[in-house]
Structures are given as structure tokens and as C-alpha cells.
Amino acid sequence: MRRPWKRRVRKRWIALVCALLLVVPSVSYVQALLYPGSASFSVRTVEWFRDHGGGKVIDTIETWKYSHQQPPATGEPIDTTGPSIVPAPSVGRPSMRPSATGLPAVQLLPGVTPLPHEGNWSVARQSKSRTPLLWTTWFRVDPAHLPVTAAAALLPLNSYRLHLMPGTREPVVGMTSPTGFSVPTADRAALEATFNAGFKMKDSHGGWWTAGNAAVPLVDGRAAVAILRDGSARIGTWNRTLRMTPDIVAVRENLDPVIVDGTIADGLATNANGRWGTVRSQFQYTWRSGLGTDAYGNLIYVAGNKMTLATLAAAMHQAGIVQGMELDIHAAMVSFDIERPGPRGTVSGERLLNSMNSPSDRYLVDDQRDFFYVTVR
């Protein structure tokens, strides 16, 4: 018979091992909660769970949750953009040809009576000489769910400078940044807009590169936004329609293109091989965002809630995008703020859509995710 003292020793060793097994993940989780950079408790918790082998569980839960949250078939629009600060031309028509104003004509849903101001571009920011710097519009995007709306923000070619900034955890943990992880103070007087970048790098299937830091190798065939030395942006497929030149200062890749040469990509409904995120994520009715250029070379950001992947692509196409890529998804990630610099370095932000969930000063403080900001040229 085993002696009682040996059984007690064995139980103590088992208890010690179990305690050690719990200590390691507990310390890791606490570190994730305390890691520098703005991120909510729920986002930090979910991301920690993903990073420790729980990605498939989280994806399954999100797909079940969002795919069962279909919006109603009829009703008022979910959200719309703010009114114009100056009278704006009406260019919203069921046509994809550019309008005479230098803005793309927004393609409205066929057979659906347009609502007041739907698809009409309006001025959200202008220069002191009253030159438009930022145009916005809204429109309905889903004929099966009429309340679903998308907003578009257009930056005219030759009027802006786009910047790519790292976060404290993306593109890589521990990356150094001489200008920090928020909009640099020196650029805030000319700040025009801030908006989210793409998926986390391990999920983006692509790379992240600047002239100062090649953080993640670029991948051929991925959708990419390239920032040129003059601050303008080009959207394309890396090493197919978009290639490295001495004039490029930054590149951010994310998944496969959704619009190429004015045509929506095939396969969005099946998302084979996870070309646009986790397979079946395309069925989620959730916040989504995308970025592209129109026939004039203007840069256009599109976002909205309760959209599937196919709906996002359709919305980008409606807005006049001819080369387009998906950015990030879900309420905690999709963020576009129209920035208005004030006296003594202050900045006030106005959301592109009021229903956007992120704080209006999100990228004015250090953030964990990489992002884009825009200054007036």
C-alpha cells in the first residue's frame, strides 16, 4: 500500500505543475491588457485569444453571430453623411461614367426611387481659398436590404498627402517608430482625415513596407496601396499592375483585389482559399471598409455597416472605384474621421458616419493598429 505521505507529495507536485501552467497564460494575458496603444478590453481579449490558438473558435463565433444579423428588407437608411458646407453639384445618377464636375457619378440602385441627397457629392473640407479638399456622399447598396447604406469619402488627386503609420503591435510587435504611433504633432496643423488600414499582418496575406522600415516582406499578387513621394496614392495588384519604383515611399498590402480595371472580382461569394479573409466570413453582416481610385485618380474610401463582402465590393463599384482593395472589418476597426485643426495644435474629429464605433480621436493617441492619415498638400 502506498504511504499517505507519498500521496500528499504527489498531489502537491500536481498542484504546483497546474499552477505553473496557469501562471504562464495569465501573465501573457495581463501583458496583453497592459500593452501600450489604444485598444478596448474586448479587442485586447479577443486578439490575445487569437494569438494563443483560439483563432478558429473566434472566427466560428463571429461568423455565426454576424451571419444571423441580417438587416431588415425595408426601412429608413441606417446612417447618412453630414450636410455639405457649401452648395454641391448633383451628380448621383445610374451611370458609371465620370461626371463633368471631375467627380465619379454614383451608381444608385436600379428601380429604387432615390432619397433626397442620396448619391450627391458634398464638400466636407475646403481650403481657405474654398477649394474642395474632401468630398463625401452616401447611398443605399443592397436591394434586398434597403436600410443598408455606405458612405464614401473622396480625396481629389493633387490635393492631399497620404501617410502610412505603424501601431504599437502592427505591423510587428516592438517596431520602433521615430514619429511615434499616432498622427505626428508636426502634421496636425495640416491634418485632413484619418482612417483604418487593413487586417492584422498575419491575416492580411501581404506585407508592409516603408522607405524607413521593411517590416513585413511584400507578396506578389496581393492588393496594395502604394504611396508616392508627392503623397498621392496608387491602388493595384503588387508586381502585376503596381510595382516598386524609386518614387514609392510606402506600401500596405491586404488580401486580394476586389475591383480590377472597373470590374468586381470573381469568387467573392465563395471566398475560396480565404482570399478575402476567413472562409465564410464573406457572409457576415458587419462593418466593412475599402479603398480605391476612380477614373480620375482620386482616392476614395468606402465604409458601411451590415454589409457582406459582396455588398462592400458593390458599394465600392457604385462609388466609381476602378481599382479597389478591402481594408479592415468589424465595428472596433472601421474608422474614418474628418479632422479639423484648431488653435494651439488642437484637432477635433468628425466621423464619416455617426454610427462608427471608434473614438473620434482614435489616431490622435497611440494605437495598436497601423493606420493612414491625410494632410493637405
Instruction: Say yes or no to pLDDT of 38 above 90.
Output: no
Q: Cα(232)–Cα(248) distance, rounded to whole angstroms?
A: 10
Give the three-class secondary structure for 73. coil
Q: Confidence band (pLDDT; 50, 70, 90) for 18?
A: low
What percentage of the chain exceeds 90 in pLDDT?
73
| pLDDT value of position 364 | 97
Q: Cα(278)–Cα(256) distance, rounded to whole angstroms?
A: 13
Q: Cα(22)–Cα(26) distance, rounded to whole angstroms?
A: 6
Q: The pTM is what? A: 0.89
Q: Confidence band (pLDDT; 50, 70, 90) for 86?
A: low
Q: Cα(285)–Cα(287) distance, rounded to whole angstroms?
A: 7
Q: Cα(252)–Cα(265) distance, rounded to whole angstroms?
A: 20
Give the tens place of pLDDT for each residue, 146-156: 999 999 999 99
| pLDDT value of position 46 | 73
- Point out which residues pair with 132 in neighbouring strands: 126
* Ranges 51-60, 82-91, 100-109, 144-153, most confident: 144-153
Instruction: Say yes or no to pLDDT of 97 above 50.
Output: no
Give the sheet arrangement for strand 299-307, strand by strand. Answer: 122-126, 132-140, 149-155, 299-307, 286-293, 323-329, 257-260, 263-264
Residue 106 to residues 17, 187, 245, 302, Cα–Cα distance (Å): 63, 32, 33, 12
In single-letter form, the type of residue at position 148 comes to V
Q: Confidence band (pLDDT; 50, 70, 90) for 36?
A: confident
User: Residues 6 or more apart from 77 whose CB is under 8 A from it?
Assistant: 115, 138, 140, 147, 149
Q: Confidence band (pLDDT; 50, 70, 90) for 29?
A: confident
Mean pLDDT of 92-118: 75
Give the three-class secondary structure for 42. helix
Residue 60 half-sphere exposure, CB side, CA atoms within 13 Å? Answer: 4
| pLDDT value of position 11 | 58
Lowest mean pLDDT among 87-96, 138-147, 252-261, 329-338: 87-96
| pLDDT value of position 222 | 98
Mean pLDDT of 221-228: 98
Q: Cα(175)–Cα(345) distance, rounded to whole angstroms?
A: 27
Instruction: Say yes or no to pLDDT of 193 above 90.
Output: yes
Instruction: Say yes or no to pLDDT of 59 above 90.
Output: no
Q: Cα(145)–Cα(162) distance, rounded to whole angstroms?
A: 34
| pLDDT value of position 7 | 63
Instruction: Say yes or no to pLDDT of 98 above 70.
Output: no
Mean pLDDT of 174-182: 94
Radius of gyration of the chain (CA): 23
306 vs 44, which has greater pLDDT?
306
Lowest mean pLDDT among 35-39, 167-171, 197-201, 235-239: 35-39
Instruction: Say yes or no to pLDDT of 377 above 70.
Output: yes
